[in-house]
A = this chain, B = another copy of it.
Amino acid sequence: MHTRTDLAIERYLDTEDGAGVRHSICRDGSLEISEVEILTADAAKRMGKEKGKYITLSDEALGDTVMDEEKRRALAEALAEKVEALLPIDGCVLVVGLGNRQITADALGSRTVEKMLVTRHMAENQSAPLADFRSVCAVSPGVLGITGIETAEMVRGVVEKVHPCAVIAVDALAAREAKRIGTVLQVTDTGICPGSGVGNHRVGLQKSTLGVPVIAVGVPMVVYASTIARDALSYLVEELALPGEEQEQAVDGMVGRVTEKCLGELVVTPRDVDELVGRVASVVALGINMALQKHLGAEDILFLTNDHI
């Protein structure tokens, strides 16, 4: 029984058996870049994640209210580099902002899309100054309960009209540990898997369904309250030094009862999640914009998108 997390690195740190998984980690100042690659179907099953690469960029500065602009910029640059490495060299890219804009913690996708440097519509009358711009378009398809249309279905409809060479999907994630809320960026070449994200999307956005590579960029915005309870219990059980198997069972049983009683779909967020989402969206948008418009510096992009970090 897995606790709920959309971060591959958290799942990896949780499992004892590392067979079929490659893991590396490097640090650059306060920025930590870790890479988990799930190589085999076995490992994928064991970890409950698709085969593929999961890159995690983390810097606690991202979550700080007192902002360290420099660290944010470094994070955006690292994100740009990782996204670019997964993108085809040229061709139009479609950026998709997932989630429900009316639920603060789930609005990261659509708020990032609002900050994208969209250029596809200018390409037609492409004069000299625009010649260097990569063609980019962006949509926030909304959620099933509001549109009556599966997100994947709608994105497929747009993909068939626009014919992008790749899709970048941005989504809010659920983490296992509260300290990762707003401080970690995950980039993966596996796309969006069914059941993931704050919004628990029913259908995935993946190469198999869209026909083009899908790069997913996600940031944890919540931890399920049941996860907090489970962690507290595990911690206690460990302290009390119950024998291993008994531990596992004791915790599982109790989490079940606690959860049933009261926690349900409750999530843990910082009180100022509204502001945090805006700040994180700016960093993610800057990173993606830099990956797409390699001839522009961070300053130029912030100017053109009327944003700041």
Q: Which residues of A contact B (CB under 8 A)?
A: 67, 69, 102-106, 114, 118-121, 135-142, 144-150, 153-154, 156-162, 177-179, 181, 198, 222, 225, 228-233, 235-237, 239-240, 250, 254-255, 257-258, 262-263, 265-275, 302-303, 306-308
> With a CB–CB cut-off of 8 A, which chain B residues contact A240?
240
Residues of B within 8 A of A181 (CB): 266
Contact of A233 among B162, B232, B265, B275 (CB under 8 A): B232
A118-B147, A157-B157, A239-B250 given; 7 more Cβ-contact pairs under 8 Å: A104-B274, A160-B160, A229-B231, A229-B232, A232-B233, A235-B258, A265-B271
Known: A139-B154, A154-B161. A104 touches B273 (CB 8 A): yes
Known pairs A103-B272, A225-B225; A161 contacts B149 (CB<8 A): yes
Contact A275 B102, CB 8 Å, known A118-B146, A149-B158: yes
How far, in whole Å, are A135 and B147 apart by their CA atoms in the complex?
A: 11
The residue from B142, B153, B258, B265 contacting A232, defined by CB atoms under 8 A apart:
B258
Please state if B102 and A120 are interface contacts (CB–CB under 8 Å).
no
Chain B residue contacts of A150, Cβ below 8 A = 121
| SS of A interface (majority) | helix
- Is A271 a contact of B149 with CB atoms below 8 Å? no
Say how many copies of this protein the assembly contains: 4
Q: Are B233 and A102 in contact (CB under 8 A)?
A: no
Closest to A136 in B: B148
Q: Is the CB of B266 within 8 A of A270?
A: yes
Q: How far is the CB of A185 from chain B (nearest CB, A)?
A: 19
Bound form: Cα–Cα A144–B153 in Å: 21
Residues of B within 8 A of A102 (CB): 274-275
A135 partner residues in chain B, CB cutoff 8 A: 148
The distance in angstroms between the C-alpha atoms of A161 and B106, with both chains bound, is 26
| Residues of B contacting A145 in the complex (Cβ-Cβ under 8 angstroms) | 118, 121
Task: Report yes or no: B104 in contact with A119, Cβ–Cβ below 8 A.
Answer: no
Contact assessment for A157 and B147 in the assembled complex, using a CB-CB cutoff below 8 Å: no
Question: B142, A148: Cβ atoms under 8 Å?
Answer: no
B263 touching A228, Cβ below 8 Å? yes
Instruction: Determine the distance from Cα of A106 to Cα of B150 in the docked complex, in whole angstroms.
Output: 27
Distance between Cα atoms of A34 and B235 in the complex (Å): 37
Residue on B nearest A199 in the bound complex, by CB: B271
Show 16 A/B contacts (Cβ-Cβ < 8 Å), sorted by A.
A67-B303, A67-B306, A102-B274, A118-B145, A153-B162, A154-B157, A157-B162, A178-B266, A229-B231, A232-B233, A232-B255, A235-B254, A239-B254, A266-B271, A267-B269, A302-B308
